[in-house]
Amino acid sequence: MNDQHKGRMTRDGIRIHEPADFAGMHRAGRVAATILDDIAEHIYPGQTTGEIDRLIEEKVEAADAKSATIGYRGYQHASCISLNHVVCHGIPGDKKLKGGDILNIDVTVIVDGWFGDTSRMYVAGQLPRKAERLIQVTHDALFKGIEAVRPGNTFGDIGHAIQAYVEGHRMSVVRDFCGHGLGRVFHAPPNVLHYGRPGTGAVLEEGMFFTIEPMVNLGRPETKVLADDWTAVTRDRSLSAQFEHSIGVTSEGFEIFTLSPAGRFHPTYSQG
Ligand code: MF3
Ligand code: CO
Ligand code: CO
């Protein structure tokens, strides 16, 4: 066995990590989550997504971490910022936020070689009622998926829990993007689908690390990628939301590596 990669691989190519590896993932996850906590005060009408990204890059450096996205397949930013009908992989730029805009901010950092990947929803100004419903359902769908994480369950159980919940609220689950294994790499097997049938797919084992990151649309599930080759939008231009946690499978169930230290994963805005 190679010392740098203790643990083993399943038949599906999913790495089984050692108990000691959980600490590294918790450190990386905490840095990413703290950045998302601290960026909340910078989200307001008139702010640009480029400035938000610049502040995130500063916070990554201040934490002695590295951005996993800068230089990843040519991507040049420390975050993805996905506004309104943008499903994911929105590129920060000069565009100013307007009151009532909703946005997902997705940050991945590397700390001591471990990857922490998380995203959550924010609003500029007042949150519109139908966006509030979409965001709540998307958040709760992520947790339906997380609650299906335990040894012996399958990835299909996770996808099914998410899909059933979302469709029960007459919203749709995006099929074109999925969660992923991670650890000492950004994207590894398996593809974590946010839809599926119970009992199908690979069986979960203690020591697996992966993200769950459902994208939910108010309209139809279809997406298209814009000419910039990154930005994915809903084909019908309906509003889309996403939440993401990085998770590890334990003997009892799961640990969330990207929990918000400030308890602000959702809502990120004040309620009432
Ligand atoms: N953080 C995204 C994910 O959840 C990936 C972003 S890749 C980028 O997997 F290059 F677009 F930043
Ligand atoms: Co991810
Ligand atoms: Co992400």
3-state helix, strand, coil in the chain (%, to 5): 30, 25, 45
Ligand 1 atom with the shortest distance to the CA of 106? 1
Looking at the structure of the chain, the number of domains it has is: 1
As a whole-number percent, the residues of the chain with pLDDT over 70 amount to: 97
Handedness of CA 162, 226, 71, 52 (dihedral sign): negative
pLDDT in tens, 106-145: 999 999 999 999 999 999 999 999 999 999 999 999 999 9
Quick check: 142 and 243 in contact, CB under 8 A? yes
Q: In this structure, is residue 6 part of a structural domain?
A: no
**pLDDT for residue 3:** 46
Task: State yes or no: pLDDT of 21 exceeds 90.
Answer: yes
Q: In this structure, is residue 5 part of a structural domain?
A: no
Q: In this structure, is residue 178 part of a structural domain?
A: yes
Please tell me if the CB atom of residue 144 comes closer than 6 angstroms to any atom of ligand 1. Answer: no
Q: In this structure, is residue 168 part of a structural domain?
A: yes
Return the closest-CA partner of residue 48 out of 87, 75, 86, 83.
Answer: 83
Task: State yes or no: pLDDT of 2 exceeds 70.
Answer: no
Task: State yes or no: pLDDT of 4 exceeds 60.
Answer: no
**pLDDT for residue 38:** 98
The secondary structure of 56-73 as a DSSP string is: HHHHHHHTT-EESSTTGG
Please tell me if the CB atom of residue 244 comes closer than 6 angstroms to any atom of ligand 1. Answer: yes
Task: State yes or no: pLDDT of 272 exceeds 80.
Answer: no
Extended strands (E) in the chain: 8-9, 15-16, 66-67, 80-83, 86-88, 102-111, 114-123, 172-173, 179-181, 188-192, 209-212, 215-217, 223-225, 232-234, 240-242, 245-249, 254-256
Task: State yes or no: pLDDT of 28 exceeds 60.
Answer: yes
Please tell me the distance between residue 6's alpha carbon and the centre of ligand 2 in angstroms.
Answer: 23
Write the single-letter amino acid at 121.
M
Quick check: 148 and 161 in contact, CB under 8 A? yes
Domain containing residue 116: 15-264
**pLDDT for residue 252:** 97
Please tell me if the CB atom of residue 213 comes closer than 6 angstroms to any atom of ligand 1. Answer: yes
Please tell me the distance between residue 1's alpha carbon and the centre of ligand 1 in angstroms.
Answer: 31
Ligand 1 atom with the shortest distance to the CA of 230? 11
Q: In this structure, is residue 195 part of a structural domain?
A: yes
pLDDT in tens, 163-217: 999 999 999 999 999 999 999 999 999 999 999 999 999 999 999 999 999 999 9
**pLDDT for residue 97:** 98
pLDDT in tens, 211-255: 999 999 999 999 999 999 999 999 999 999 999 999 999 999 999
For residue 270, name the pLDDT band (cuts at 50, 70, 90): confident
Q: In this structure, is residue 169 part of a structural domain?
A: yes
Q: In this structure, is residue 7 part of a structural domain?
A: no
**pLDDT for residue 96:** 98
Phi/psi zone of residue 157: left (φ > 0), alpha (ψ -120 to 50 degrees), beta?
alpha
**pLDDT for residue 7:** 76
Please tell me the distance between residue 194's alpha carbon and the centre of ligand 1 in angstroms.
Answer: 17
Q: In this structure, is residue 106 part of a structural domain?
A: yes
